[in-house]
Chain A
Amino acid sequence: MQETEFLTLIRENQGIIYKLVGLYARTEEEKKDFSQEIILQAWKGWPSFRREAKFSTWLYRISLNTLLTMQRKKKLIDYREDLETIPWSSHPDEGNSEDAKRLYKAIRALPETEKAMISLHLDGYANQEVSEIIGISENHVAVKLHRIKSFLKQQLSD
């Protein structure tokens, strides 16, 4: 019963895992490993999940903690130009897909921790929530997000 409820919530919120893993994984194998590790860590932490918190926020925190502490298996390769493997490259909406590709490419070029911050911000989390999840002050979040957004705008306007 617990497992069924957990997996239902995972399925409902799989977009979080899908987008975050897409930003951090370099290969298809890594995408699978990272996704499964996030689900596994969430399952292990499931008994400590307090119902007053939103499941999506809880899963976001676990996903970022997992992704930023994972040990990568192979030598780092430069994935920034590798757009063939992006998860939504075959999205049916071609217009959206083009914008998505460019945004995706620009975010992937950011440092690891900044990817986390901008994804939280773009998913609608307030600076205070980003600050709590990341572990830095709200002012620091605001400064960093301002810089990241400027960088993204510059990249996307080129």
Chain B
Amino acid sequence: MDLEKTWEKMGEGSSLPEEWLNTGSVLRKPGSNPLLKLKKNLVINMAWGLLTLLIYVLLIVSFSEFWIRLVLAVMLVFSTWALVSTWMLHRKLEPGICTDCNVLDEMERYHRIILAWCQNQMKVALFFYPIAAATGFVLGGTLGAGQPAAVIMTKPLIQWTLLASILVITPLAWWLGKWMTRLAFGKYLDELKIRIDQLRSEG
């Protein structure tokens, strides 16, 4: 069999269905590019981040106790960090295909960007959620017991419970973050890595 001739004949007389070439529906579609999906996720993350910041500011204003304010301020700093890093990733993210790049460079670009997002989510999960849980614990305790945080936190039972909660929540949050990023892009990243390695391997 002549490979070239058979291949050439494959495309002869072939045509895409007319509806697939419909300008109105195709060229105005948002597309299903993974980076576009990531960019939309980042916008949603930022909207939630802004809302969270607003809630922390309102709580800081509402509580007059120093310790509560301090914990909330720490949360505010972490939330701001998460928001800024999300915004920076969003800003430099160019969804779509680079028309001048080669296949290997393009696959590596996609892999790099999505991996950066996954690592960012993991950092947020590792640092943000345990602190948020601790803040909630202190706030809940204060409101439930009707006593200031400084008083509640002197009790050994509360101290140990808080410590145990953080020790349980931290790996759990990390694992949850890892699971969520794997769910969103895990298989895709693995496939990209395989393709990149296929091209990189000289043997």
Contacts and interface: CB of A to CB of B under 8 A. Distances in A.
A40 interface: yes
Given A64-B103, A134-B103, A135-B102, A102 B199 contact: no
A112 to B, nearest CB: 5
B29 A134 contact: no
A103 B10 contact: yes
Interface size class of A (residues with CB under 8 A): 35 or more
Contact of A116 (B1, B21, B100, B103): B103
Interface residues of B, number: 49
Given A3-B27, A113-B199, A134-B199, A18 B14 contact: yes
Contacts of A102: 1
A90 B4 CA distance: 20
A143 B95 CA distance: 34
A69 B34 contact: yes
A33 B32 contact: yes
Contacts of A16: 11
B151 interface: no
B199 A19 contact: no
A120 B168 CA distance: 54
- The dominant DSSP class at the A interface is helix
B190 to A, nearest CB: 11
B31 A48 contact: no
Contacts of A68: 103, 106-107, 195
B62 interface: no
B198 A40 contact: no
Given A112-B195, A140-B202, A122 B27 contact: no
A11 B191 CA distance: 31
B20 A32 contact: yes
A146 to B, nearest CB: 13
B97 interface: yes
A26 interface: no
B37 interface: yes
A119 B195 CA distance: 16
A122 B3 contact: yes
Contacts of B180: none
A41 B26 contact: no
Contacts of A100: 6, 9-10
A132 B188 contact: no
28 contacts: A18-B11, A19-B11, A35-B20, A39-B21, A41-B31, A41-B33, A45-B97, A45-B99, A48-B100, A61-B103, A65-B97, A68-B107, A68-B195, A69-B33, A69-B34, A71-B34, A100-B6, A103-B1, A111-B194, A112-B195, A113-B198, A116-B103, A122-B7, A123-B7, A132-B102, A135-B101, A135-B103, A149-B3
Query: Nearest 7 CB-CB pairs, A to B?
Result: A135-B104, A135-B102, A15-B11, A45-B99, A122-B7, A41-B97, A71-B34
Interface of A: 3, 7, 10-11, 14-19, 32-33, 35-37, 39-45, 48-49, 58, 61-62, 64-66, 68-72, 87-88, 91, 93, 96, 99-100, 102-104, 111-114, 116, 119, 122-124, 132-136, 140, 143, 149, 152, 156
